[in-house]
Amino acid sequence: MKLDILPGQSYPLGATLTPDGVNFCVFSKNCHALELLLYDTPTAPLPSHVIQLDSHENRTFYYWHVFVRGLQAGQLYGYRVHGPYDPSHGHRFDGSKVLLDPYARAVAPNPHYSRAAAAQPGDNSATALKAVVVNTQDYDWQGDTPLGLPYASAIIYELHVGGFTRSPSSGVTPDKRGTFSGLVEKIPYLKDLGITTLELLPVQQFDEQDAPHNLLNYWGYSPIAFFAPHNAYAANPAAPHAVVNEFRDMVKAFHRAGIEVILDVVFNHTAEGDQTGPTLSLRGFENRAYYILDPANEALYPNYSGCGNSLNANQSIVRRMIIDCLRYWVMEMHVDGFRFDLASVLSRDEWGQPLRSPPILWEIESDPVLAGTKIIAEAWDAVGLYQVGTFIGHRWAEWNGRFRDDVRRFVKGDNAAVQSLAARISASGDLYAQPDRDPNRSINFITCHDGFTLNDLVSYNHKHNDANRESNRDGASDNQSWNCGVEGPTDDPAVEALRLRQIKNLLSILLISQGTPMLSMGDEVRRTQHGNNNAYCHNNELTWFDWTLVDRNQGLLRFTRLLIQFVQSYPIFQTEHFWTTTDGSAAPHLIWQGVRLGQPDWSDESHTLAFTLHDPLQDIHFHIMLNAYWEPLTFQIPYLLAPRRWRQIINTAQPSPADFYEPAAAPTIDDDHYQVAARTTVLLQAY
């Protein structure tokens, strides 16, 4: 077939479908020749057409472009880019490699894909991934728009798209397990749990082969195509462009259920790794622009991400790509926001030095298309830059790593933990000191994908990562965990009862603290990874949600569901202002207490804390008692004027269903004191 080829134009970047054909455009500054390759199948050893781009007709400034009349959606394509191979000066052009378009909207699955072939000399046409031309304008959103829920009313649930429904125990339609469509079938479960916001682990196309020792990259923190939904999550992988609409169907279904969808995005590095890694896309187009290079030796990559390379996020071309990408996922895919993995890498300049005012972070915050979205920073990187409490901007929320660590330490029974706990409960005012800051921009969490599950946090003193085949060297060694007396599974009923109590203590503190709570997939039913705290390379039963746990842990699931429902019912847990400690204020306020009223024990040896919450406008009173001591303690409780009485809503020492009462049915407290069992949380409500 003879193609009708025209010069094309330098915008938009990527492959843009029109009624007459497709315009292709990519950026490359230092290459001297560029070829567009058209393929008939993902595994074709040779392209069906090779279109040589002329440096005069098909180049505007540093943009190479061509228009091919008659091409349609579904066309597979790639590029070869020829230029200097001079690593010492940052150039790594390799004209033998087939490259993915950085703006590819979809990637065709290739069963013969080889990461190794992309890292070795020679042609890799048959084993390379190919981009897909996608029609992004043919979808009927039926009036759908992003939900824009405030942080104050959000309950975030972090989950893995594949792992949530991959297990046969999920009950999901077999050909939809582990897919975007399969996730839709679990909306009733998430809705009943009380989830308002899903945070999906990476769904941008990633390299599953980027893992050691013939394992698979499961988590997805290894991106290769930022604009493309991961094709392995498609229910119909035979139609590679269909994954785009399958993702949209999922978002639309969640929006109809009142649930937001936010994406965990990885703009700190790519799957191309260090100087020994493969040439898949950015490295082959313009290595010097896309990556931070070592100023002392530009053949090397500073590794601020811990994954081999660091994206040069504040370079103008890269900034444009990131903004274009975020806009695409909001405008064309209707997502509600983003969590930025290792966001502190984005604060570094092209030499790797932290910037006081990073352009890309301000551009994300101020972009009008993104103005209604959630933007959440993991405010640290892999080499010690820790910006929790100091991350720039007026709109960024932050994963509060200090909340995780300090709550774990208190519940475990560490010394010198009470003062830090009090700060975390009250939205970490010691970290976020701006008086006009929304306290809910502190994203509070106990666990996430990275580290122990909640069950394993109370079941293991040490990581058990031997299955990762790295001699247990990988993963964090300091987890602030406690096995409650036995390492791993046990039949001892006393140990099991204590573990369940500790889980409920951790969940209670998480949900009643001021800030936006985030739960990790399956913690509500004691999902376990058997002590593996770095299970990024296991796409199997170790990491999948085991849905038999829903029946086996109905009591904990009930407790979690009622706890979420409870905090969602009262404005004091959703206020957009910091709780004040001024008694008598018209604003929601708290009073720190201790075992004795008005006498909180801030000493290093203290293992107790109590506080009274009061919302004058709603006439709501709560009294919370936290006993992390290993013996029961008797707490004084505030006096109430008759006929009001305290009612016990939560007592984590009690078995289900006595661990959580609906307010109207809760037992009353007639004394002026209450004995709190060892390692127990109690919440009373005036009623």
* Residues 574-627: tens digit of each pLDDT: 999 999 987 777 789 999 999 999 999 999 999 999 999 999 999 999 999 999
Active site residues: 341, 378
Decide the pairing of beta strands 374-377 and 397-399.
Answer: parallel
Q: How far apart (Å, rounded) are the C-alpha atoms in residues 20 and 385?
A: 50
**Does the pLDDT value for residue 392 go beyond 80?**
yes
Tell me which residue of 111, 14, 98, 83 sits closest to 50, measured CA to CA: 98
Tens of pLDDT, residues 428-437: 999 998 888 9
Tens of pLDDT, residues 469-480: 999 999 999 999
Bond from prior residue into 643 cis (ω within 30 degrees of 0): yes
The pLDDT value given to residue 95 = 98
pLDDT band at 668 (very low <50, low <70, confident <90, very high): very high
In percent, the amount of the chain with pLDDT more than 70 equals 100
Per-chain mean pLDDT for the chain: 97
Task: Give mean pLDDT, residues 142-159.
Answer: 97
pLDDT band at 171 (very low <50, low <70, confident <90, very high): very high
**Does the pLDDT value for residue 46 go beyond 80?**
yes
Q: Per this entry, what is the length of the chain?
A: 687
The pLDDT value given to residue 582 = 79
Phi, psi of 250 (to 5 degrees): -65, -50
The pLDDT value given to residue 587 = 83
pLDDT band at 204 (very low <50, low <70, confident <90, very high): very high
The pLDDT value given to residue 433 = 87
pLDDT band at 676 (very low <50, low <70, confident <90, very high): very high
pLDDT band at 2 (very low <50, low <70, confident <90, very high): confident
pLDDT band at 213 (very low <50, low <70, confident <90, very high): confident
The pLDDT value given to residue 240 = 80
**Does the pLDDT value for residue 237 go beyond 90?**
no
Amino acid identity, residue 288? R
**Does the pLDDT value for residue 650 go beyond 90?**
yes
97/242: higher pLDDT: 97
Residue found under tokens 């200097």: 84
**Has this prediction a pTM greater than 0.75?**
yes
In percent, the amount of the chain with pLDDT more than 90 equals 96
197/436: higher pLDDT: 197
Task: Give mean pLDDT, residues 182-191.
Answer: 98
Please say whether the beta carbons of 626 and 595 come within 8 A. Answer: no
The pLDDT value given to residue 415 = 98
**Does the pLDDT value for residue 32 go beyond 80?**
yes
Instruction: Give the full edge-to-edge strand order of the sheet including 668-669.
Output: 589-593, 608-615, 620-627, 680-686, 646-651, 668-669
The pLDDT value given to residue 584 = 72
Tell me which residue of 250, 257, 259 sits closest to 161, measured CA to CA: 250
Query: Which structure tokens are listed for 536?
Result: 């990024």
The pLDDT value given to residue 239 = 84
Domains of the chain by range and CATH?
Answer: 4-132 (2.60.40.10), 579-686 (2.60.40.1180)
Helix or strand or coil: residue 567?
A: helix
The pLDDT value given to residue 434 = 86
